Amino acid sequence: MKKAPLPRFQVQPLNSTFGQDIFVKYAKISGELPGPIASDVIATMKKNCYDSTFTYPLVIASGSGCVVKDVDGNSFLDFTSNIGACPLGYSHPDVIGVIAEMSRNGAHKIAGQDFYCKEHADLAEQFVSVLPDGFKAFFINSGAEAVENAIKIAYRKGFAEGQPVLPGVSCTGAFHGRTLGALSFTYSKPVQKAGFPELAVLRIKFCTSDGDQEIDAIEKALAGNKVAFVLTEIVQGEGGYNIASQRFVQNLRDATKKHGVPLILDEVQSGMGRTGKWWAFEHYGVLPDIMSAAKALQVGATAYKSEYDPDQHGVLSSTWGGGSRIDLAVGATVIEVIKRDRLLANVLVMGERLKKGLADLAAGKKGIIDVRGLGLMIGIEFDTKENRDAVLMQAFRRGLLLLPAGQKAMRVIPPLVITAEEVDEGLELMATAAAASL
């Protein structure tokens, strides 16, 4: 029996930048948000759990492509990719196939640094294939742990045991995780750090312009201090989707080489094709000594030049790192699909389409002061936090998922498989949300 076509819900674009009526195909909202089932789930969470960083009252039930559905049946166009952890969107046939196959394995969870498994080896082989030549990898549970182990590797290589802990260098606006070591070098929001101890750290400005007066601060820091490492993102994630200037990154690389200091690049959010290249540092023509990855990889990973290998059994370990065979198998599949389907090219094309549409919207709308990004990692800067939050909630009510970043920025980070049709619908929903808020 032939299926009836899906109903299309018309959205009137209130002062839309694009100036014409559209039919919304992906975002379908019925009634008030949250719906009754979602409200019950949220009430249970608030009663029993710490109310952490939840952005809006969304209770995810399922997903397909670039759309997620909540427990009340509402559909949302997802421009968050679950903070980059769902690079192929939802219900991707290759991923579903792997999960179905692995679900029949009665030993899907093992102590991954104590016992070998083929999935671990397969992901390692795929992961190393997209790393710089001569790099090795160590798998752990999360991005924060990936940064922690990058820090440990840097300390281990450069300084003898028993010495006082030397400071590391990190940047203003940085976010490297919430475990205590990584948190020492995070400098995104005061609420993330207040009241916690930290390792010794020197802070330099994260420069987004080649003409910044502090562009050479790293040379002064390394010339005047003995330090353990320099740690930075290329595109700041939680810190506001700020993009490092070319000269700033080159200065970091030149100064660390000159002074014999390892350079750690944190690619937890920006890596795995998010910017149109496998790694954001490829846009800058530099190579790190050590790097971190996670999110799109499905597991955490610390990668490093072979010369930084601890070369002693047991220095690094993680009970479950590399231990979820399902996540390892999905991670390898993600890399295979990005290669096979040439998704890096799609990221560049769709990223430009999305960024241009957002820039056009910003040009005609008070309250939006900047649009910036690489590939499908795009930030929108608002004049105030209040305006940012208002647009965010209006977009949610219309069925578009976005996330805050920094003090008053919004991150736009859709799945790498997004189509032109989905980009355009997202832009229209964003335009109507901005029209209702600003």
List, for residues 102-132, the tens digit of each pLDDT value: 999 899 899 888 899 999 999 999 999 999 9
Determine the average pLDDT of the residues in 227-250.
97
- Do 199 and 318 sit in the same domain of this protein? yes
- Do 354 and 319 sit in the same domain of this protein? no
Residue 24 clears pLDDT 70, i.e. is over it: yes
Helix (H) or strand (E) holding 232, with range, is strand 230-233
Q: Are 223 and 198 within 8 A, CB to CB?
A: no
Q: Work out the number of other CB atoms within 10 angstroms of the CB of residue 54.
A: 11
Tally the domains of the chain.
2
Task: Report yes or no on 92 lying in a domain.
Answer: no
- Do 300 and 184 sit in the same domain of this protein? yes
- Do 302 and 405 sit in the same domain of this protein? no
Nearest-angstrom CA–CA distance, 417 and 210:
33
- Do 213 and 116 sit in the same domain of this protein? yes
Domain of 386 in residue numbering reads as 9-78+342-437
Which one of 340, 369, 392 terminates a domain? Answer: 340
Nearest-angstrom CA–CA distance, 380 and 4:
39
Six-digit token string for 432: 């109507």
Judged by average pLDDT, the poorest of 4-13, 168-177, 333-342 is 4-13
Q: Are 331 and 299 within 8 A, CB to CB?
A: yes
Task: Report yes or no on 89 lying in a domain.
Answer: no
- Classify each residue of 121-138 as buried b or exposed e, where b means 16 or more C-beta atoms within 10 Å of its C-beta: ebbbebbeebbeeebebb
CATH number, position 402 = 3.90.1150.10
The CA–CA distances, whole Å, from 300 to 125, 206, 318 equal 15, 25, 11
Tens-place pLDDT, residues 318-333? 888 878 999 999 999 9
3-state secondary structure of 221: helix
Task: Report yes or no on 315 lying in a domain.
Answer: yes
Task: Report yes or no on 192 lying in a domain.
Answer: yes
Which one of 310, 340, 370 terminates a domain? Answer: 340
pLDDT of residue 165: 75
Nearest-angstrom CA–CA distance, 301 and 317:
12
Tens-place pLDDT, residues 135-155? 999 999 999 999 999 999 999
Which one of 340, 368, 397 terminates a domain? Answer: 340
Indicate the pLDDT class of residue 17, thresholds 50, 70 and 90.
very low
**pTM as predicted:** 0.92
